[in-house]
Every structure is written in structure tokens, then in C-alpha cells.
A and B are shown apart, each in its own frame.
Chain A
Amino acid sequence: MTEKKEYKVIGTRPIRHDGVDKVTGRALYGADFQMTGLLHGRVLRSPHAHARIVSIDTSRAEAYPGVKGVATAQDLPDAEDRIADLGEGAVNLKYLCDNILASDKVLYKGHAVAAVAATSPHIAEEACTLIDVEYEVLPPVLEVRQAMEADAPLLHETLKTTSMGETADEPSNVASHIQHQLGDPEKGFAEADIVVERDFVTGTVHQGYIEPHNATAHFNQDGQLTIWCSTQGAFTVREQVAEILQYPISKIKVVPMEIGGGFGGKISVYIKPVAALLAKKTGKPVKVLMNRADVFEGTGPTPASYVRVKMGATKEGKITAAEAYLAFEAGAYPGAPVGPGAMCIFAPYNIENVIIDGYDVVVNKPKTAPYRAPGAPNAAFGSESVVDEIAEKLGIDPLEIRLRNGAKEGDRRADGPVHPRIGCIETVETAKAHPHYTAPNGQKHHGRGVASGYWFNIGLESSVTINVNADGTINLIEGSTDIGGTRSSIAMQAAEVLGIPAESVNPSVVDTNSVGYTAVTGGSRTTYATGYAAYEAAQDVKRKMIARAAKLWEVDEDNVQFADGEFSCINGKEEQISFRDLCGRLGQTGGPVVGSGTVNPGGAGGAYATHIVDVAVDEETGKVEILRYTAVQDAGRAIHPSYVEGQIQGGAVQGIGWALNEEYIYNDEGTMTNASFLDYRMPTCLDLPMIDAVIVEVPNPGHPYGVRGVGEVPIVPPMAAIANAIYDAIGIRMTELPMSPDRLLKAMGKI
């Protein structure tokens, strides 16, 4: 499986197909959409973190000149308390609707309460201030451990804890408890010569995509609803809007515009149903845009969490047992990614005895949303810090202990699945041999740290259609939003099958009426699954083209061979024709050729990463500087290596931001006090060195070219790697994120 196959297109670095549009400002993103007669919508948001809505009076706003319509939760169909399957997991419809426009209670500062459509955005904003909302303010609960206490303020009077199939009698903020057990943890800890147990706390962080959410909706007189928007998945928007508005999917068309970053945060809908409601009310197209504060306060960040990890090992460095307690903040409604956290936490290791408990807990913060490997970074910060401490106490090199315990094909993950062929060991070996790891590291207050990470990746549904052109090119129609160069990584897989250059493929991302069902660009699935569908569609084209060549030469299809872009006759006749020339003869041989491919593959194949970081700690200011960063990752097969490197570099830097600076800072009333890009401090290029991305290729047996998803796992190792480097520099174990200057100074006893 690991032998290197020769490919003509895969592994090369063509210019991305949408590149010129994006460097010239021509590419149209959601907010760039214009239409005659367009109205502008804005959303009024709750000033309180927890309150009952006593009354909403919209009359003053409605009377304001330029206002064309006002919407509240009253305008939404009555939401039943039922579970809807939206392709992205089951969702309680009442919660989904209440998060769009609050009905009885507001559950976080920034919770949408009402919306206005007006002739200009400024008028809409002004009119929002004229909506009179009377609130009965309730005490908020803002931290997961406090929310779990018996006397904590309750967000939902009807929410009761489900724990492994059982539902509790009394209401609680704990929505669910999960547990995974493997082997006999008690016995495993008894066998250990050393046991390390530590508590970890992580803050609420945001995906931080640069483009705010946006949506333009229009209802035609025949009831056809069209929504132009930025989204990671046009089909999930269609499903969510259909459920929220109780409107048939066949009457909704979602047009995915270019998207300015998502990282998981543009799967849930917020203003899309609001734009549709306002369009319905006004009979005009309505564009609703968020501002940056809306994005921070009104859309899902990733959870803050409390994590406790205990691990035991023998003197020889064999990890004998591991235990984790994961309590994640879901935000206002249940659904924290504690399940994925539990799946990933010990996955880089083969440990016989494991117990993991996970809790999904509601608090008065925005409903959390996926963010790149959701749940895994919170968990790995704990486990990878503890592994480092065990290695240090045993005097074993931290990569060596990872090699001794590394997960391999056939080992079982604590939540059940047995690993297929994976590249965990290979990433550690590559890191260990890297010149970064062997370089001297001894300067005062400088330190080096390593950590590994895992993400399972997903498959799900994708559809691709290929239309063959007379000049030997193909038009490739797909439904996967392109957030990072996937037009090219998908097109290249079709090109490889057909023996044509990447440039001979014209990929288009189209609306929900124009391509088969395709799940979101998320879960690191796009190059894997939509690429797989492109491979299948190209195989379909190849079969049909072989039939055409056979017809042309009057031979059986079995006698036609296709290799390197040439069809040839292998039996008797000395015939040969290139793909390109045959494309020019489709009219004579039966008409146009269209190929299609649909997949729902199960073999996504997990991804592993191992990172090395050097830091300098400024003892005066507590500032941590990243001096050098190397990120090793198994990509299975890198279709377009530049964009694989880009995913690795971008994920690592988001992790650096999470590790060092990023967090929602709340006051006691539950107001985020840093809801701007000035105060929510994401890394700039001045904060960073070059990020050395090292691609390891252990082909995934679940994909024809061996592709593994690459987008998510690079955000998993950085927090622990940096914490371990800080320990190496100053001898202090940091257990709370972010490791910002004030926390460093406190830890060093300077303040």
C-alpha cells in the first residue's frame, strides 16, 4: 500500500482554477451579491445573557420611514419539540428555531430577538433601536463546572440529563453524559509505576473567519424561495431553512456564493431563515449582513471546557491506563462536541485500559458550532500535556514515548472502532528525524515542545457531473463549497483518470437545483469524498468514451484500451485516438457524453499530526514568542501539495492563536468584552515565523488515490506542543488556555 504510484496530475501544483477571479477582486462572495430592488436587513440582539422576554413592541420601528418589514419569532411557524435529521446530525427543532429568533427566553448576550428590513442598512440599524423589548433579567451561568452544580440557574426548564440511555427526572444544565470504557482501567493504573493527573481549562474561541455571515433571500410570486449566501453546504442550508420555515425543499434553491472562511462555523444557519422571513413579509429581495460583533456574539464559537486527564505508565514508558473527564460548554442549546473529543483524546496511542466520561453542558453563551476538529483540541491539550509530563518524569524522549505507544493498524480506539491503516507512527518518526528536532535547543528561556493529534475525518454524500466538451476539456459540476482550493484538488482527480491536464477541467460549484446532493465542506471530507465522486464520474466518462471508440472502429468495447490519454485498439486493428480527438467526434458517434458519480464512502481514514515548536518566554512581560514551528502530517496522498501545506499551516496558526491569545472575555453579566478583532487577538503575520509543513503519505485504503482529509487535524497538537515548550523554557506547566502574558506572569509569580 505504501509504494509510490506514478501519477501525471496528482501531486503536481497547478494554478487553482478560481485563482484569477480571487486575485483580481472579481470573485463574488455572499455580501457582494446585488439585485434590483434589494432591501437591507439587520437583526436586533439581546443585551442580556439570560432573560425572559415579557413583550416585544415593533410599532415604532414599523412606522420609521424606509422600514418595509419587521420580523420576530411570532413569524416563524410553531416549532415542535421534535428531532429533525439535517444530514449533519439530529437537531431539536425547537432549539434550532429559538436560536434563529428567540421566542420565550434569551439565553446569551447577542441572541437574535427581531429583524428589520429597510431601504438602507443604516435605516435598518436605526429601526432596530426603536423596537421595544421588555425583559425579565435572570442570573446567567457562564462556566461549565458552575452550570453543572445542582443549584445553578437553569437555561431550559425541560432539559434533563440523558446518561447512557437513561433520562434523569429533574431538569439540569447537563444535556448528556457519555462514557467509553476499554479494558480494566483500575488494573491498568495498578500496573503503572508512575501516574500523572492534571486538570485543564480552555477558553471559548471563535473560528474567526474574515467574512461575516450574509444572506440574500427572495420569494417569487410562485412561492419559489432563492437564497444566495456564504455557506459550507448549500444542501444543509436548504434542509435547515425548510425545517425552520416548514417549507418544502423542492421550493427552495440555495446558491452558494464564494465563501470567506468557515472552519465549521458556516454550517449552522443564523440569518438565512431571517432573510427569507423578511423577503416573504416585504415581497422584495432582502440582504442581511452581520457585523463583526454580531459574528462574535451571535454565532457559534467552539466550547470552553474543563478537562481532567490521568495516565499511568511503567518505568519502561509503556502507558498502561488512561482516564479522561471532559466537560464541554454547549452554549445556549445542547450539542457540544464532547463526543468527538472523547473519540480523539487517546487515539494517538494504543492503550489497553481506558475510561472516558464526557458531559455536554448548556451555559449562557452562544450555541457552540463546529470549529476545525471540534472537541479534539480541548481534549488533546490535556492528554498531550500529560504524556509529555510522563515522558519527562521517566527521562524518556517525548517522541520516543509516542513511538513506543503509538497507535497502529488493528489497534482499537477507546470508543470502539479498530484502526485501519493509519500514519500515526510515521508522523512521529518523521518529526523525530526532522532537522528541527535535532537542532540545538539550550538557550535560557527558550524551550522546545512536541505533541501529536488525531482526527477521524468523515465521508458522507457527494455528487459530481462531468460534461465532455468538443475540444477535449471537461466541465465538472460539483456541490462542494470551495474554501481552500478544492475546485482544483477535485478537478485533478478527474484529470488523472482521463489523462488530461488539470487545466483542461473547468470546475463549477453550483446551486442545489443543479447538482446531486452533496454534504457540507467540513469534516475534512471534500477532497476525499467529492474527489472520490469526481473519480467515479471520470470513470463513467471513460467507460462511455471507450464505447465511442469501439463504435468508431467497429470493434467490441473489450478491445479498446485507454492509457495516458490515448484510446487504442488492442485486437487486430492498428487504431489509436487521443481523448481530445475523440471528444471532437462525439456528434458522429452518438451525441454528447455526460458522466456522473455519486458516493457515500465509509473509509475516510483517520489523520494524524505531530508538531514541534520552539518558543522564547519573555520573563518581564510573560509574552511567548514562536521561534520555529514544524508540522508533520499524514495526508494519505497529497493531491495538490501546496494546498495541503496551506491547510497544515493555517490549522497550526489557528492553534497558535488558541494557545497564546484567543478567548472570549466575559464580565459578570455575561457580556463578551472583547467582541472585535482589536481585542479578540488573532495571530498576525508579525507574530509568526514560517510554518514548515511536512507531508507524510501513508495512503488511505478507503480512497482510490489514497486521500485522507487534511483540514482539521493540524489544529489539534499546537496547544499542548506550546505548553510543553513553555515548560521546557521555564519549568512551569501551563494548564489553562490561552497562555496569555497575564497568565504566564501569574504562573511565574510576577503578578
Chain B
Amino acid sequence: MARKSHVQTTINGETVEFLCESRQSLLEVLRDELYLTGAKEGCNNGNCGACSVILDGRLVNSCLVLGVETEGKSVETIEGLAEPDKLHPIQDAFLENAALQCGICTPGFIMSAKALLDSNPNPTEHEIRYWLAGNLCRCTGYDKIVKAVMDAAKETSA
């Protein structure tokens, strides 16, 4: 058995400690060690974006980050986005726009959209499409997702 390392990190604002093998990705740690299963595995090689999280303010595919790399860093996941009694405007916009069908890609898209709007509060449609091109959705044809992000941008920058 591979020896486990002790890691201390911040997840959604809370200090979290966990043990993981060096070979375990952040995605595996989130899902299998911490039971934060909102980030999904679609490809495990950085091509689908279903595992998108924000690491120290930067959007990453958590399947391409090792769990041990998060020592001392800060991770934002889909589970930390909503307030106790209120959804984040991006989450609301996804619901209002019917921007999900099966929903498996949705947490990744929402985290990607959050990273976009954090850095560019008023993106054009093209900028949204460019930014979200790392997230695959097979159900919607993207139309309603792009509209949801445009609506969320209006909401958050208003």
C-alpha cells in the first residue's frame, strides 16, 4: 500500500485536513476522501471540465491536480457556492434558463462561469463561448448555458 501524506488545505473557506496517496488527484480526494461529489469525473484527463474547481482563484480541472499539491492552498467547489438560504446568481440563472438536462456537467460549467465572471464581469457572447470551451455538455447544445451565463453576468454586474 502506498504511504499516505497529511495535507492541510482550505476548502470553501473551511480548514480541511486529509490523508491521501501521492498518486491521488484532487478530484479523487474531493470525491472519495471528503465526499464532496459535486465535481464529476467525465474523462479524467482534462478534456471535459466536469471536475472544474477554483484553486487559489484560478480555474483548474481537479483531475489534473494532485491532492498533495493543495497543501496550504484554497479550493472552491460547487458545494461552497450557494448561501445557506440563497443560490448564487449563476445557479439561479441556470435554473431560470433551463440550462441543464442531465446535469452531470452543470457543476463544472457553473464553476467555470464563476471563474469567468470573477475576472470579467461583462463578457461578450464570444468571450463566454471561448472561456467555456473547456467544458463539454452533450445534452443542451450549449444555447441555454451561454444564455444563462449572459443573464448571470447582467445580474452580478448590475
A window 17-44: CB within 8 A of B? 18-20, 22-29, 31-32, 34
* Chain A 635-648 interface 0/1 with B at a Cβ cutoff of 8 Å (1 = within): 00000101101110
Inter-chain contact B95/A19, CB cutoff 8 Å: yes
Inter-chain contact B138/A652, CB cutoff 8 Å: no
Given contacts A20-B87, A23-B100, A212-B42, contact A691 B141 (CB under 8 A): yes
- Which residue, of A25, A65, A643, A686, has the highest number of chain B Cβ atoms within 10 A? A25
Inter-chain contact B138/A209, CB cutoff 8 Å: yes
Residue of A nearest to B103 (CB): A22
Q: Considering only CB atoms and an 8 Å cut-off, how many residues of chain B contact the other chain? A: 59
Given contacts A291-B44, A677-B136, contact A260 B103 (CB under 8 A): yes
Residue of A nearest to B50 (CB): A210
Residue B14 is within 8 A (CB to CB) of chain A in the complex: no
Inter-chain contact A24/B138, CB cutoff 8 Å: no
- Give the tally of cross-chain contacts (CB within 8 A): 190
Given contacts A260-B103, A677-B42, contact A208 B138 (CB under 8 A): yes
Residue B139 is within 8 A (CB to CB) of chain A in the complex: yes
Residue A116 is within 8 A (CB to CB) of chain B in the complex: no
Residue A180 is within 8 A (CB to CB) of chain B in the complex: no
Residues of A within 8 A of B35 (CB): 34
Q: How far is the CA of A516 from the CA of B84 in the complex (A)?
A: 37
Inter-chain contact A685/B38, CB cutoff 8 Å: no
Please give the distance in Å from B139's CB to the nearest CB on chain A. Answer: 5
Residue A565 is within 8 A (CB to CB) of chain B in the complex: no
Please give the distance in Å from A488's CB to the nearest CB on chain B. Answer: 9
Residues of A within 8 A of B50 (CB): 210
Given contacts A29-B40, A210-B42, A211-B40, contact A682 B138 (CB under 8 A): yes
Residue B104 is within 8 A (CB to CB) of chain A in the complex: yes
Inter-chain contact A676/B47, CB cutoff 8 Å: yes
Given contacts A24-B38, A677-B136, contact A650 B101 (CB under 8 A): yes
Q: How far is the CA of A212 from the CA of B51 in the complex (A)?
A: 13
Q: How far is the CA of A688 from the CA of B142 in the complex (A)?
A: 8
Inter-chain contact A484/B139, CB cutoff 8 Å: yes
Q: How far is the CA of A494 from the CA of B59 in the complex (A)?
A: 43
* Chain B 83-119 interface 0/1 with A at a Cβ cutoff of 8 Å (1 = within): 0000100010011111011111111001000000000
Residue of B nearest to A649 (CB): B141
Inter-chain contact B140/A646, CB cutoff 8 Å: yes
The 8 Å CB contact of A650, one of B81, B91, B130, B138, is: B138
Inter-chain contact B136/A24, CB cutoff 8 Å: no
Residue A443 is within 8 A (CB to CB) of chain B in the complex: no
Residue of A nearest to B98 (CB): A642
Inter-chain contact A23/B146, CB cutoff 8 Å: no
Residue A654 is within 8 A (CB to CB) of chain B in the complex: yes
Residues of B within 8 A of A27 (CB): 103
Q: How far is the CA of A430 from the CA of B87 in the complex (A)?
A: 39
The 8 Å CB contact of B98, one of A20, A643, A651, is: A643
| 16 A-B residue pairs with CB within 8 Å | A23-B100, A25-B39, A31-B41, A34-B37, A122-B21, A210-B105, A210-B138, A261-B101, A292-B45, A646-B141, A650-B138, A684-B142, A688-B141, A690-B143, A690-B147, A691-B141
